[in-house]
Structure 1
Amino acid sequence: MRDRLLAAEKVKAIEWRDSTLYLLDQRALPFEESWIAYDSAAAVAEAIRSMVVCGAPAVGICAAYGVVLAARARLAAGGDWFVALEEDFTLLAGSSPVAVNLSWALGRMRERLARVKEQADPLAALEAEAQAIHESDREANLNMAQLGVDLIRRHQGNPQALLTHGNTGALATGGFGTALGVIRAAWLEGMVEQVYVDETRPRLQGSRLTAWELAGEGIPVTVNVDAAAAHLMKTKGVTWVVVGAERISANGDVANRIGTYQLAVNAMHHGVRFMVVAPSSSIDMSLASGEDIPCEECAGEELLEIAGRRMGEGIAGCNPLFDVTPADLIDAIVTEKGVVERPDAAKMAQLMCRKRLH
C-alpha cells in the first residue's frame, strides 16, 4: 500500500528549499495554483491565521519551519538570540489556538534547541528537526491509510459510498492526508464507488479543496450542500463518514471543522459508521474532555454578505469554525499508533503508550 500511495501522489502543499518555506495558497484554489515564499516567523504566523495553509498537521509543520526562519534572523541580529527567540515561539503559538499539532511541533523544536551543544550549529539542528517533523507526518499518513482501509474492509463489503467533511488531504498535511489518505487508499484497493464531499460552509474547504484533490486523481466525487448529508445517508447507501480532527481530548472527544458534530449524530441515526483519522500529535491528553477545547469563532459578517452586499441591518451572524463531537458518537479513531474503536479515556491512554506501528 505504501508504494502505491507514493506512486499516486500528485499534490504537494508545503516545500522547504534554499532556507525558504513555500506554501501553495489554499485561498486561491481551485482556480489558481499559486505558491508564496516565506522567510520570517511573522510571515508564517500570518499565513496560518489567514488560512493560506489549513489543517492541523500542516499548521504544525509550518510552525516548525517558522522557528527555523526565526532562529536565522535572531542569530544574524546578534545579542542573546536564544532569549529573543521566545518572542517568535509565542507569536507562532498564537496563530491557531485549536490545532494542538502546532503546540506539539513547537514543543519538539524547543526540546531540540535545548539539546544543541554550544559548539554545534543550532540553525542546522533546528532545520533537521523541522524536516523530521515534516517527514514523520508523511509516514504517519501512510500508516493511517493502511489501518483505515483495514477497518473499512473488516466492516463492509465493496464497493461503497463514503462521505467526508472539510479538507484532510495533502493540502492539510505533510502529504497524502489523514481522512482523505484513507479514502485514497480505499480507492486504490477498489473499495470505493463514490465519495460525497460536504461543501463545508462557510469557507468551502470541501468543494474548493477536497473535491479538487479527489478529481485530480480520478476518484468519483460528488459535492453536496452540508444540509444534504442526512439525506445522502438515507438514500445513497453511505457506509462510512470519514473525517479528520483539529484536536482530540483525553476521553476521545474530537474538535473538527464546524458541521462534524451533526454528521456524527446523523450517522448514528442511520447506522452509518463514523471514523476519525488523525495523527497522535492531534491528541491532547492534558484536556479531560472536549468541553476544554477552545473553539474559534469568526466574524458573523462573513455570513451576511452576498456579492459584497450586506443582506440586512439588525441581523447577527453565528460563525464558529469548529465544533466538538462526543466520543460516544465515534466508531473509531485511527492514528499512526493504531486504532481505537468506541473510544473512551482508558482506551485513549492505552493508545498513547504505544509506539508507532510500522
Structure 2
Amino acid sequence: MSASDQNGVEAIIWREDRLELLDQRILPEQENYLIYETAEDVAQAIRDMVVRGAPAIGITAAYGVVLAARHCFARDSFMWKESIGKYIKILADSRPTAVNLFWALEQMEKRIALQADDLNPEKKLLEEAVRIHESDIAANKTMGEFGADIIAASQDSGRSVMTHCNTGALATGGLGTALGVIRTAFDKGIIDHVFADETRPWFQGARLTAWELMRENIPVSLNVEGAAAHIMKTQDISWVIVGADRITANGDVANKIGTYNLAVLALHHGVRFMVVAPVSTIDMSLETGEDIPIEERGADEVVAVKGQQIAPDGVEVFNPVFDVTPADLIDVIVTEKGVVERPDRDKMELLMSNDHLH
C-alpha cells in the first residue's frame, strides 16, 4: 500500500505489513529502501535523516504508531492503550522543530482514543496513517496550483526561481510543497529555470532537489549558498520559493538553515519570497518565531563530508539546522487551505478559520 507521486519518487511505502523508507542519506548514488518493523527503529530513522522534510517526517511517524500498536497489542491485548504512549513519545522526541510530526501523532492519538480496549487496533490505525499520507499528496497538488497562479499573476520579471533544501516528493507524501509549486509552474510554462542552493551541511539541494528536477527534465543550476546574492543581482530571478518546518501565529517561518539569508537578500534585490506548506505546519500555539525550538546537531556534520574531514581537529562548531524568517520578509504563504499575502497574526487566524477561501 503506497501513495505514488506522479514522477515515481516514493520516499515512504507501506508494503507487506511493514514500512519501507528510501534512504535519503545515500542519494543520488544509491536508491535503497530500508525496512522498519518497530516504532523505535522508525524514530531512529527520523533522527538519522533516513527520512527528512517536515511532511514526510509526520507521515513516517504515523506509520510508526501502527507498528507500535501491533507490538503493544501482541504483548497485551487488554493493556495496549496504556503501553503505546511510551512509543508515541519516542517518536515525538525524534526531531524537535518540525511541527508536522506532532500534528500527525495527535491525529493517531485521536484514532487510538476511539478504539475498543480489547480489539486489535492495527487495521484502523493503518487506515488513519494512509489517510494522512494521501491527504498530504492532495494538499501538495492544491498548493502547486495556488502557487503557480501567484507566479503567473506577477509575471513582470524573470522566468527563473530559486529554492533551498529539498521540498519535493522526497520531503512529503508526494509531489512536494515548494517544489510542487515549481513543478506545476514549469508544466504550465510560467517558469523555465530553477536555481537550487546546495544546502550545507547535508547537501539536500545538491543531492535531492537537483536529482528530482533532473528526473523530470526541469532545467536546474546548482549553486553554493554564497552565490545567492550574485545570482539575484545578475540572473532573472522572480521568486525565492521555500518550504517550512513550522509557521507561528504571526507568520514567522522556521525552515532549513540559510532560508533567512535568502529572505534578506530577496528583499534587497526586489525578488519576491514565497513559503509553501500545508496547514499542518502552522502552530498557532506559538506567538512568534522566537518560541520555536531550533534543533542543533553534531559537529561531525560540519567538519566532515562523507567521512572526509575538511576542518582542523578540535575546532568549535555551531550547527543549528533551522533558522526563522520573520513574517515581514515574506510576500506570501501558500497552503492547501488558501493563500496569505504579507502574513500577520490576523491573516493567519483568518486562514485557520473555516471561512477563509483562496
- Decide: shared fold, TM above 0.5: yes
Q: Tell me, what secondary structure is at the counterpart of 1:200?
A: coil
Residue 40 of structure 1, aligned match among 31, 38, 54: 38
- What is the distance in 2 between the residues matched to 1:131 and 1:30? 27
For residue 299 of structure 1, report the CA deviation from its aligned partner.
Answer: 1.8
Paired letter, 1:352: M
Q: Which amino acid counterpart does residue 22 of structure 2 have in structure 1?
A: L
**Letter matched to residue 212 of structure 1:** W
Residue 311 of structure 1 deviates from its aligned partner by 3.0
Unpaired segments of 5 or more residues in structure 1? Answer: 1-5
Structure 2 residue 62 is the aligned partner of structure 1 residue 91:
no
Alignment of 1:138-287 (within 5 A): 138-157=137-156, 160-287=159-286
Contact 1:253/1:324 (<8 A) preserved: yes
State whether residues 158 and 190 of structure 1, in contact with CA within 8 Å, keep that contact through their aligned partners in structure 2: no
Amino acid at match of 2:335: T
Go from structure 1 to structure 2 and tell me whether the alpha carbon gap of 1:83 and 1:251 turns closer, same or farther (over 3 Å shift): same
Question: Do 2:158 and 2:238's aligned partners in 1 also have CA atoms closer than 8 Å?
Answer: no
Name which of 74, 88, 94 aligns with 2:72: 74
CA distance in 1 between partners of 2:90 and 2:5 (Å): 38
The aligned counterpart of 2:47 is 49
Distance change in 2, residues 1:118/1:298 (3 Å): closer
Residues 142 and 181, structure 1, Cα contact 8 Å, conserved in 2: yes
Length-normalised TM-score, structure 1: 0.95
Cα deviation, 1:104-156, whole Å, max 9, x if unaligned, reads: 00000000111124575422111110110000100000100000001101111
Which amino acid in 1 is paired with 2:284? M
Letter in 2 for 1:125: K
Q: Residues 11 and 186 (structure 1 numbering): CA distance in 2 closer, same or farther, change over 3 Å?
A: same
- 1:326 maps onto 2:322 in alignment: no
1:25 Cα deviation from its structure 2 partner:
0.5
SS of residue in 1 equivalent to 2:354: coil
| Contact residue 15 and residue 21 of structure 1 kept, 8 A | yes
> CA distance change for structure 1 residues 355 and 25 in 2, over 3 Å: closer, same or farther?
farther
Match of 2:60 in 1: 62
Segment drifting more, 148-157 vs 56-65:
148-157
Q: Tell me, in whole angstroms, the C-alpha distance in 2 between the residues paired with 1:308 and 1:8.
A: 36
Are the aligned partners of 2:80 and 2:117 in contact in 1 as well (CA < 8 Å)?
no
How many Å apart are 1:157 and its aligned residue?
4.7
Count of residues in Structure 1 that have an aligned counterpart in Structure 2: 353
Deviation for aligned residue 1:303: 2.1
Counterpart position of 2:23? 25
Q: What whole-Å deviation, never above 9, does each CA across 1:283-332 have from its counterpart, x for those lacking one?
A: 00000000000111112243223663463245211211000000000000
Q: Give, as a single letter, the amino acid of the residue that structure 2 aligns with 1:41.
A: A
Shift of 1:23: 0.7
In the alignment, is the contact (CA less than 8 A) between 2:61 and 2:104 conserved in 1? yes
Point out where structure 2 has 5 or more consecutive residues left out of the alignment.
none
Please give the alpha-carbon distance, in whole angstroms, between the structure 2 residues aligned to 1:299 and 1:312.
16
Q: Which residue in 1 is equivalent to 2:297?
A: 298
Distance 1:264 1:100 in 2: 22
The answer on whether the counterparts of 2:143 and 2:181 sit within 8 Å (CA) in structure 1 is: yes
SS in 2 for 1:251: coil
Q: Which residue of 2 aligns with 1:348?
A: 348
C-alpha RMSD of the superposition: 1.7
Tell me if 1:12 matches 2:37. Answer: no
Whichever residue aligns with residue 91 of structure 2, its letter is L
User: By how many angstroms is 1:28 displaced?
Assistant: 1.0
**What SS does structure 2 have at the residue aligned with 1:269?**
helix
Residue 42 of structure 1, CA deviation? 0.4
Output the TM-score relative to the length of structure 2.
0.95
Equivalent residue of 2:240, what SS? Answer: strand
AA aligned opposite 1:94: D
Structure 2 residue matching 1:68: 3-state secondary structure: helix
* % identical equivalent positions: 56
SS of equivalent to 1:242: strand
Secondary structure at the residue paired with 1:192? coil
Amino acid at match of 1:76: A
Would you say the 8 A contact 2:73–2:120 is kept in 1? no
Question: Partners of 1:62 and 1:170 in 2: how far apart?
Answer: 14
Per-residue Cα deviation, 1:227-264 (whole angstroms, up to 9, x for no partner): 10111011001000000000000000000000000000
